[in-house]
Chain A
Amino acid sequence: MTSLPPPSAKKLGLVIDLDTCVGCQACTTSCKEWNTQGYSGPLTDTNPYGSDPSGVWLNRVHGYEVMEEGQAQSRIVNFPRSCLHCEEPACVTVCPTGASYKRAEDGIVLVNPETCIGCKLCSWACPYGAREYDQSQGVMKKCTLCVDRIYNENFEPEDRQPACVKACPTGARHFGDLGDETSKVSQLVAERGGYDLLPEMGYKPVNKYLPPRARRDATNTRAEALPRPDGSAFDRLFQWADKVLSPRKASARANEPDHSGKLEG
């Protein structure tokens, strides 16, 4: 059923810390590794090691350069992007078959690969580019929030988390119930001013992003290179000493690296 269920009390999702993400791609590869065998698998690749690879990934990490007001230097923000498990996902309501659905019990948005007809309309409806079509299988693929891990009783309780969260070496990804105000993730969002992506679209994403913290050297850093030899008396003294101490054989001198620090020309 692609009509949305009544809003659930439980809203499982991710909180992504843009301050600590280092763009290592561990979450994307771990996601691929788990999900190619999981609920949405396989995540087909074509020509993965060739010159023109293409394939389905459920998580992508972008790199943006941000130039802040009054700063001489820009900063890099690594930006993971995956399904936000929206509260009002048009990707679900546009689905003609009921393959795309939002779970009433925890709000996870899933695609049933057995009933998807591959019309791609859901991917058109998603402003976040979170759905990727699998050409080989003819069905749409998306983040499952590792629904086959988080409730998996074969795992130790600490492993019942999405693969991306488990893999993140810097702790930039947090998983939890954003419908519960007392949960760790909700508190993190409240403390750090977590925000929604494109709130003007009205999809009400569950996943939140924590903005990068203000830089410590926010006002007084100026781009400056290391000092270079400037031809001062000291520089000339060292050059003279280098000349005196070096062996006099011309051929040996020619092959030796020049450490004098003297500038060309």
Chain B
Amino acid sequence: MHPAYSVILFTTASGAGYGLLALLSLVGISHGEASSLAFGLTAMVVALGLITIGLLSSTFHLGHPERAWRAFSQWRSSWLSREGVAAVITYLPAVVFGAVWSGLIAAPALIAPLAVVTAVMAMITVLCTAKIYSTLKTIRSWHNPWTVWVYISFALATGAVILAAITAVFGNFPAFLVYFSSVLMALAGIIVLLYWRSIDAAPRDLTMGDATGLGRLGTVSQWEQPHSAPNYIQKEMGYVVARKHAAQLRRLVIVALVLAILLMLSALAVPVAALLAMALALFAAVVQRWLFFAEAQHVSSLFYGAQAA
């Protein structure tokens, strides 16, 4: 599948934003009001800013961005529509929670209930994003039970390192956050390894003979393309990164995550290392997401000469 940069930015930025939002809600539940108004507002602006940048970027790849509002209508059947609805609804409890938690509005009793709603909505939105991909039967590497966990674990891990980086900047850096974000990054790494193992093990048992139904006669091969230059289907669905590059990029994701964890642990001594850890974790998330698209093979590529899918 063609890795559209707008979609990669969208899923990683909004994922990190929702992860951060969910974790800020947990902070609100466990600690009550934010330690300072500046910290509270900064953290909320970063979370909602990432979410908003992601959502805006997702509209860049639309043919008609001005019609994007129509995407809220088909939540009964479409995960993309559900995601749009969930994303917009999440703003409401999130903004009110942010105002109360940061101390802009003095209503400490409301922090916990608002935090629960915000955290749940944030995770539901990430789930909807993942479901857009995992429900597509046409792409075997996405139609996989691990897909949802990859999206959720990367959202929480990147959200956690961003939270750690913000607290490091504000000087209220708790050791707990170092361990917590390291564990989440390790979990994301383990889950993505399991995801890769699962998609590598999945049988690619559909052939050109199955797609055309001509396999009933004998061995099928492509004799003539239907057109002289690549069409939309070939450009959009035909993009598959070479296997050897995929292997290198997978290693890059894991190395970046391991380095991010080491840097995060060293932030116990030098808090500013948390910022580097954040950069590396976000880098790992972007490469992972690029691979998610670039490694995916679409069934329709069988009509255009792919041997198996």
Contacts and interface: CB of A to CB of B under 8 A. Distances in A.
Interface of A: 1-4, 18, 23, 28, 52-57, 60-69, 71, 75-77, 79, 81, 90, 92-99, 115-121, 123-129, 132-135, 137-139, 195-198, 200-202, 209, 211-212
Contacts of B67: 97, 115-117
A98 B203 CA distance: 34
Contact of A94 (B63, B72, B78): B78
Contact of B62 (A54, A64, A138): A138
Interface stretch (B41-49, B113-121, B210-218): B210-218
B266 interface: no
Contacts, number: 197
Given A71-B218, A124-B136, A117 B303 contact: no
Interface string B206-238: 101011111011111111111111111100110
B141 interface: no
8 contacts: A63-B223, A90-B137, A95-B78, A97-B67, A117-B71, A119-B71, A124-B139, A197-B212
Nearest to B301: A129
B220 A126 contact: no
A84 to B, nearest CB: 12
Chain A CB within 10 Å — which of B73, B84, B217, B225 has the most? B217
A97 B73 contact: yes
B104 interface: no
The SS class assigned to the B binding surface is mixed
Find the residue from B71, B232, B298 having the highest chain A CB count within 10 A: B232
A59 B299 CA distance: 18
Contacts of A212: 214, 217
Contacts of B225: 62-63
Contacts of B1: 124
A115 B137 CA distance: 25
A96 B63 CA distance: 14
A96 B80 contact: yes
Given A56-B232, A128-B300, A195-B213, A69 B64 contact: no
A198 B80 contact: no
Nearest to B137: A201
A66 B218 contact: yes
Give the top 7 A-B pairs by smallest Cβ distance, nearest first. Answer: A118-B63, A138-B63, A129-B300, A63-B224, A96-B81, A68-B218, A96-B71
Contact of B226 (A61, A96, A123, A201): A61
Interface residues of B, number: 58
Nearest to B73: A98
Contacts of B214: 18, 64, 66, 77, 79, 211-212
B219 A125 contact: no
Nearest to A50: B229
B77 interface: yes
Contacts of A94: 77-80, 132, 135-136
A139 B62 CA distance: 9
B63 A116 contact: yes
B213 A118 contact: no
Contacts of B206: 198, 200
A208 to B, nearest CB: 10
A127 B216 contact: no
B229 A53 contact: yes
A60 B84 CA distance: 34
Contacts of B221: 64-65, 67
A139 B63 contact: yes
A61 B225 CA distance: 8
A69 B69 CA distance: 55
Contact of B138 (A64, A75, A126, A197): A126
Given A64-B208, A197-B212, A123 B223 contact: no
B215 to A, nearest CB: 9
A97 B71 contact: yes
Given A127-B299, A198-B206, 10 more contacts: A54-B232, A56-B232, A79-B214, A90-B136, A97-B70, A98-B70, A124-B136, A126-B138, A127-B137, A211-B214
